Amino acid sequence: MADTVYRRASPKSAIISIENLHKRFGPLHVLRGINLEVAPGEKICVVGPSGSGKSTLLRCVNFLEEPSDGRVFLDGRPMGFIEEPGGRRRRDSEANINRMRARVGMVFQNFNLWTHMTVVRNVVEAPIYVKGLAREKAYTLAEKLLARVGLSDKVHAYPSQLSGGQQQRVAIARALAMEPEIILFDEPTSALDPELVGEVLEVMRDLARDGMTMLVVTHEMGFAADVADRIIFMDHGVIVEESPPEVFFQRPKSERATQFLAKLSSRAPV
Amino acid sequence: MKFDLSVITSNWQLFARGFGVTLVYCGVSSILGLCLGLVVALARLSRSVWLRGPAVGFVELIRDTPFLVQVFVIFFVVPASGLTISATTAGIAALTLYGGAYFSESIRGAILSVPRGQTDAAHAAGMSHVLAMRRIVFPQMMAYLIPPLTNQLIGLVKDSSVLSIITVPELTMATQRVLGTTFAPIEAFSMAALLYWVLTACLAALMGRLEHHTPTHRAARQTTAFLTVADR
Amino acid sequence: MTFEPRYVVQALPFLIRGARLTLEVSLFAIALGLVVGVLLTIIRQSRIKPLEAAASIYISLMRGTPLFIQILIVYFGLSEIGVDLPRFLAGVIALSLNSGAYITEMIRGGLTAIPPGQRDAAKALGMPNRYLWGHILLPQVLFLIMPPLTIEFTGLLKASALLSVIGVVELTRTSQEIIIGTFRPVELWLTAATFYFVMCFVLGAVARRFERVAAAYRA
């Protein structure tokens, strides 16, 4: 692993802290020992070639995938597992896992809006049924959030009536409605037509300015360069390089990052 | 050969009563069978082998033996273990187990048809399995469930005629009673066939309407309406 | 009441004979059902409106009414019009008339899996309809519908139990007759159920095999 030049959040203050994370799917070793800490307010972009394990990393953070080895801490508490005396671990109760997931927002590549519900019901669903928020409060909150992502006029539309960009903005509002401490973005613009990417990135920039803690897997290098405090470059299941954006994009330290960036710029001029 | 309509007209009460009994038997067994089917489907989808194994075994057992033999086993073999069982109980039990096994396959298929991302999003928002099932999966699976379920409900209605063999007084039994006094099998059975036909056709129409009211179809309808407006 | 294996052993030769008849009646029924299915398919493609309508009503009736009633109508109907058929034959006819209605739907499904370009190609070559159907379409369709046809066969195997009512001495009727002599319903019905289970289970495995082969062909 590369040396850390950039200041790392101290373990105590970190919102998310990942220690030696491994994930195997049968014979496939997708994550091979990931260590990462995310401090409050920090924006981290994870980049790398496809198949490098970026999405799996995010899915392990909120336990949508069960890590094969290693630990994830949310606010100092181990996520998904309970350590027993003697070093053995067992799966935490479902209720505990859900409580912790509720504090971590997630935005998916394919939006995953609930297709049988209107936009506003997508947003109020989890606050009402998971957090027990009163209906009126949830709807007021939802309308505020939908206004924030610029979709006040689509409150009662169904997801299938919206463009991809609009759907992704609803998904961001849905994540925000739980008032999460961090939001995980799993390639939020990869499924969008090019002309719709901008509106989603704009909402994300807005969130970043507001101080939201964000862990973003993305191929949008411009966004990463603008917004990220740190760039994590992953390849073959390991973090190859971890640098501030100005370092990463101007003079990457690793050979593989250099090749990766060269390939990108040859494909589409930045 | 003459077709003697008086066989039907003079025995319409018998036919009506038999029709009513068939309706009740099928209604009760369908509801019980759906509950059973849901439990079996969830067991088959569970992570535990101890739930999955018996569920698979039960479905295979029902699917790989004739309904008639199942009826005989319930009516003649179960009492040998000391349990007294009336024709009514045996009939309802047989239809329920039979329906439950087939329904469970449709329910399982419908649950699996709901895209993975929908439950991912639910879990990511902190929903429990039960809540995600209730709020996300069940409403969405209805659209996938209704077409195969329609065929199976029709099958249940048709196969309920077999219960006449253990003297359940449903439509086929009633027809045989008509036969006992009139000796006009063609007329009597044609009338029974017609009544079954009407029943299955109504069932198909009813389920078709129901399908129109699933959350998924409501959403789709809204979308089409929106598109027509947008086109203008 | 206990389970006495010796009654099973005693009954075994008769049950095996009954099971053979069950298989035979189902085999004849699926073969004849296939003929009915093909005929219905041809009628439905004939573009002669009254014929098409009649075929549709026939299919709807067969699928919308109990097979049990159909069996009784065929059995009593044949004797009423003075045709005295052996029970076995009456049973085969009843089953195949019913099965044909389902098989024609399978054929319809199979036809949609054949690219329309093949029809166009045949027509472009000046092939008459007879050849188009006999040499191009049906052979492929019959291959494609092997998996559902095998499942239909298991369906007939199970449905043939109903023929016991009209006196066809297949597996179920055999069991009934032995029970009348021995009063051992537990042993007999459980054994009969096991016979059916084994036959259907094996056929189910065969169907899954066919499905793999057919899937490979489609791809």
pLDDT of residue A265 exceeding 80: no
Secondary structure letter of residue C9 according to DSSP: H
Query: Quick one: tokens of B44?
Result: 């088959």
pLDDT number for residue A4: 38
Quote the tokens at residue A131. Answer: 């957090």
Give the integer Cα–Cα distance in Å for C181 and B153. 38
By residue count, chain B amounts to: 232
Strand-pair category, A104-107 with A16-25: unpaired
pTM of the predicted model as reported, rounded to 2 decimal places? 0.86
What is the spatial distance between Cα A9 and Cα C25, in angstroms, rounded to a whole number? Answer: 78
Element (H, E) at A32: strand A28-38
pLDDT for position A201? 96
Q: Are C95 and C162 in contact (CB under 8 A)?
A: no
Say if strands A77-78 and A214-217 run parallel, antiparallel, or are unpaired.
unpaired
- Cβ(A33)–Cβ(A238) under 8 Å? yes
- The predicted-structure confidence for C77-123, as pLDDT tens digits, reads as follows 888 888 888 899 999 999 999 999 999 999 999 988 888 888 888 88
Confidence of residue C133 (pLDDT cuts 50, 70, 90): confident
User: What 3-state DSSP class applies to A178?
Assistant: coil
Tell me how many degrees the CA angle B102-B165-B189 measures, rounded to the nearest 5: 95
Q: Model confidence at C215, in pLDDT bands (50, 70, 90)?
A: confident
Chain position carrying tokens 């056709």: B201
Which chain C residues are Cβ-neighbours of B158 within 8 angstroms?
64-68
pLDDT given at position C155: 96
Please state the domain extents for chain C.
Answer: 5-218
CA distance C60 to B11: 26
Where is pLDDT greater, at C213 or B200? B200
Longest Cα–Cα distance in chain A? 57
Query: Comparing C-alpha atoms, which of A192, A200, A252 is closest to residue A225?
Result: A252
pLDDT of residue A81: 87
| Interface membership of C57 toward B (CB under 8 Å) | no
| Region A197-213 average pLDDT | 95
Cα separation, A200 vs A109, in Å, equals: 12
Q: Nearest Cα to C60, choosing from B193, B84, A234?
A: B193
Whether the predicted pLDDT of C201 surpasses 80: yes
3-class state of residue A215 by DSSP: strand
* Contacts of C among chains (3+ CB pairs under 8 A): B
- pLDDT score of A2 more than 50: no
Is B225 at the interface with chain A, CB within 8 A?
no
Other residues' Cβ atoms within 10 Å of the Cβ of residue C91: 29
C190 touches chain B (CB under 8 A): yes
Tell me the pLDDT band of C1, cut-offs 50, 70 and 90: low
User: How many cross-chain Cβ pairs, B to C, lie less than 8 Å apart?
Assistant: 112
How far, in Å, are B28, B163, B171, B186 from residue B199 at the CA level? 16, 17, 11, 20
Q: Which CATH superfamily is domain C5-218 in?
A: MetI-like (1.10.3720.10)
What length is written for chain A?
A: 270
The CA-atom distances, in angstroms, between A188 and each of A154, A199, A228, B173, C49 are 20, 11, 15, 64, 55
CB contact under 8 A, B125 and A130: yes
What number is the ipTM of this complex? 0.91
Terminal-residue alpha carbon distance, chain C: 56
Taking the Cβ of residue A91 and every Cβ of chain B, the question of whether any pair is shorter than 8 Å is answered with no
Average pLDDT estimate for B178-200:
92
Residues 6+ apart with CB under 8 A from B203: B150, B153, B154, B157
Single out the residue of B186, B128, B136, B197 nearest to residue B161, CA to CA.
B197
- Interchain proximity B73–C189, CB inside 8 Å: yes
pLDDT value of position B1:
55
Q: Which residues of A touch B140 (CB under 8 A)?
A: 114-116
Full set of structural domains in chain B with CATH: 7-231 (1.10.3720.10)
With CB atoms and an 8 Å threshold, state whether C201 touches B60: yes
| Interface contact flag, B117 A178, Cβ < 8 Å | no
Comparing CB atoms, the residue among B1, B77, B189 nearest residue C81 is: B1
Scanning every residue of chain A, which has its alpha carbon at the shortest distance from the alpha carbon of B125? A102
User: Least CA distance to A58: which residue of chain B?
Assistant: B124
| Chain B residues 56-95 with CB within 8 Å of chain A | none
* B67 Cα to chain C: minimum distance (Å): 8
Alpha-carbon distance C23 to nearest alpha carbon in chain B (angstroms): 14
- For residue range A150-192, what is the model confidence (pLDDT) as tens digits? 999 999 999 999 999 999 999 999 999 999 999 999 999 999 9
Region C111-137 average pLDDT: 84
In this complex, do A112 and B140 lie within 8 Å of one another by their Cβ atoms? no
**pLDDT tens for residues A26-47?**
999 999 999 999 999 999 999 9
Q: Which chain C residue's Cα is nearest to B157?
A: C66
d(CA C186, CA A54): 61
Specify the residue for token string 């699996």: B112
Answer whether residue B227 shows pLDDT above 70. Answer: no
Model confidence pLDDT, tens digit, residues A75-108: 888 888 887 777 778 888 889 999 999 999 999 9
Confirm or reject contact between A117 and chain B (CB < 8 A): yes
